[in-house]
Structure 1
Amino acid sequence: MKQVPTSSPRRPTGPVAPATLADVARGAGVSKTTASDALRGHGRVSDATRRAVLDAAVRLGYTPNRSARTLRTSVTDTIALHIPEFLTSAEYYMSFVFGVAEQAARAGLNVTLVSSGRLPQADGLILCDPMPDNPVVDQLMSAGRPVVTAERYGGEGQPAGVVWSDHETALTELLEHLRARGARRPAFIASDTTADWALTLQRTYAHWCAGRDVRPLLRKAPFGSSPEVLRGVVGQLLAENPEADAIVCAADGAAAAVLPEIRSAGRVVGEDLLLASCVDSPAMRTAEPPITAIDLKPRRMGAECVRLLCEILAGQARRGTARTLAIDMIVRASTGS
């Protein structure tokens, strides 16, 4: 008998249809809504469920169709970030931007930087240290998109959410630390800006001095001043007030920048003059001596702003939500530790 050769059934040779969100949901054993929330980093999804959905998406080769989703829901999966251009060289703001970018990536969002009042397509905005006299900030605040601010906004419009730090408590703790180290005439080099944190620091210093019968030694420098300008301010302060036994600098990097001027005045940091900063940075940690500073946690601040904006967009946090980011004083040798 002639044997009939056996063969396997033929498989379709056409292109394989791409995996859909429904495929991912079935693969993870969850609903489409849960799968969507897990992939975008939204919603109240447990870590175990999120991992199951992500594993299913990778296994199935799922790629979200952003264009189709945008047409259906008017969602761009993009958030806009505004930082005034003259601030972008500061260490704090660069760390803040990285925090925003990292958290946005986890949520499946793109980030676009905004340098003018013209808003690109975006679901919401994050404004870092918004100043009420900045016309670009005014335009963005009234653009009709949910806005989350890093630090409070002193203008007329109200953001949808704010993440802020208690600078009053932190500076008071720092001034009390200097007093415990023997300082009786601390000076404060303020930033000449209308940002809420800067005004809060000035008010706190004045209040602290009034409460301890200390005559204030307050000097202002333009925000973003060059090291030469800062040194000039400190040099003049020490020449006119030789009794000053401590200096607190508000701006990022200022305390390290003025070290040469302090030495030129014949003062020894950590001994007859204490030095501290309201903003910690690598420059404070690597200075000689290392400088006591307040750690504002800028990377975490950026991430928390994105997290709050996502929750507001998803309806999980009410508009007007304000959250506090804890900040810490780091004591180093510049204050005689």
Structure 2
Amino acid sequence: MTPDGPPTLDDVARTAGVSRSTASRAINGGLRVSPEAQAAVDDAVARLGYSPNRAARSLVTRRTDSIALVMPEPDERIFTDPFLGATLRGVSAGLAGTDLQLVLLLARPGEHPGQMARYLSSGHVDGVIVTSHHRGDQLEQELAGGSLPAVFVGRPFTDAGLRWIDVDNVEGGRVATRRLIERGCRRVATITGPLDMTAGVDRLAGWRTEMRAAGMPDDAVVEGDFTVAGGTEATRRLLDEHPDVDAIFVASDLMAEGALQVLDARGLSVPGDIAVTGFDDLGIAASTTPRLTTVRNPVVEMVNSATSTLLALLAGDDVPAEPQVLEVELVEGTSA
């Protein structure tokens, strides 16, 4: 700090021995600045403790120094869904050491479809990571046709021009279902995730593929919503409509927790009467009784990859457009 207050751009220019415009260009990206001048300005910034005015800097660079993490879900889900919580923590950690600020965008009651997409396309952020997206939120259409750098955690319904990272949800559904069939179960049902999300669609497809490969009926299907309450309601309906089931593949561990509660309330033992498998392995499975057999969802790896990919895009690096699909792993418990 100078005797008259915080150091200014003029102070940096004077200390570095360059013009004010050269100092500004050096601080805001180094365009048309010689290596010697850049080094002098960097040294002056460090010596003076200069911090650029973000508002003024954005006028020069046309950048906001912020990225958005978009979760089109109600805010209460952040505190109850381990996948969303882990995603938020992972992106925040991935930005450590950068000057980028994180803007969290959640769905609001009564929000008009496309409102979030319009916000993103209006220049408020430099890039975006999207997760837990739904078919009707219009994010895919807006981001696929725009210039805003974007990475999806989770397969989009359309991948035209979109970069994304996901776990192999189809194979995960197959692995979880295969475990039940190998156990000797012959009436295997499923509680799906929301079918306006690709995770719900793909896990259902995996279950159905494995059932048909085993020559078993694939009619015992009830849609859930990836919440404990949704799993509870879906299990009640499933048992009422298909009382002969002897196994259930539940497409998330949160819903499986609700399913186990219903089975216990109805006096059905797990896995004695009905075997159960879940999907996620983000902490819930280890705390259920019995311990849930589940499929690992590698959220940390996905979020790390999404964040590093977005940072590379913002830096102007040549980033391959091919999707990244991570392998699944069955985590044994005692519920199946």
TM > 0.5: yes
Aligned pairs for 1:1-337 within 5 A: 63=51, 66-67=54-55, 69-86=57-74, 87-88=77-78, 89-114=80-105, 115=107, 116-117=116-117, 118-119=119-120, 121-155=124-158, 157-159=160-162, 161-224=163-226, 227=229, 229-318=230-319, 320-335=321-336
Native 8 Å contact 1:82 1:113 kept in 2: yes
In 1, distance between residues paired with 2:281 and 2:302?
Answer: 14
Deviates more, 1:126-135 or 1:90-99: 126-135
Q: How far, CA to CA, are the matches of 2:177 and 2:321 in structure 1?
A: 32
The 1:187/1:62 distance shift into structure 2, 3 A limit, reads farther
Match of 1:5 in 2: none
Local SS of the residue matching 2:309: helix
Rounded to whole Å, the distance in 1 between the matches of 2:209 and 2:69 is 34
Q: Flag the 1:59–1:252 CA change in 2: closer, same or farther, 3 A.
A: farther
Residues in 2 aligned to 1:313 and 1:169: alpha-carbon distance in whole angstroms: 32
Which 5+ residue runs of structure 1 have no aligned equivalent? 1-11, 24-34, 38-56
1:15–1:253 distance in 2 versus 1, CA, 3 Å: closer
Distance 1:304 1:108, change over 3 A: farther
Aligned amino acid, residue 178 of structure 1: L
CA offsets, 1:15-37, max 9 Å, x none?
896897xx9xxxxxxxxxxx999
Residue segments in structure 2 that go unaligned for 5+ positions in a row: 16-26, 30-44, 108-115
Displacement after TM superposition at 1:213 (Å): 0.3
Work out the CA distance in 2 between the residues paired with 1:220 and 1:106.
45
TM-score (norm: length of structure 1): 0.74
8 Å contact kept, 1:312–1:318 = yes
Question: Structure 1 residues 64, 303: closer, same or farther in 2, change over 3 A?
Answer: farther
2:323 alignment partner, SS class: strand
Do 1:252 and 1:278's aligned partners in 2 also have CA atoms closer than 8 Å? Answer: yes
Residue-by-residue CA offset, 1:115-152 (whole Å, 9 max, x unaligned): 52312521111111333322355445444301111112
253-262 or 235-244: which moved more?
Answer: 235-244
How many residue pairs match? The answer is 294
Show CA shifts across 1:77-110 (max 9, x none).
Answer: 2111211123534221111111111102243321
Contact 1:186-1:217 at 8 Å conserved across structures: no
2:280–2:296: 8 Å Cα contact kept in structure 1? yes
In the TM superposition, residue 237 of structure 1 has moved relative to its aligned partner by 2.4
For the residues of structure 2 that align with 1:304 and 1:247, how far apart are their CA atoms?
Answer: 32
How much has 1:310 moved relative to structure 2? 1.1
| Greater length-normalized contact order (CA 8 Å, ≥ 6 residues apart) | 1
1:277 deviates by 0.9
CA distance in 1, matches of 2:282, 2:254: 7
Distance in 2, matches of 1:71 and 1:36, equals 10
* Residue 334 of structure 1: how far off its partner (Å): 1.1
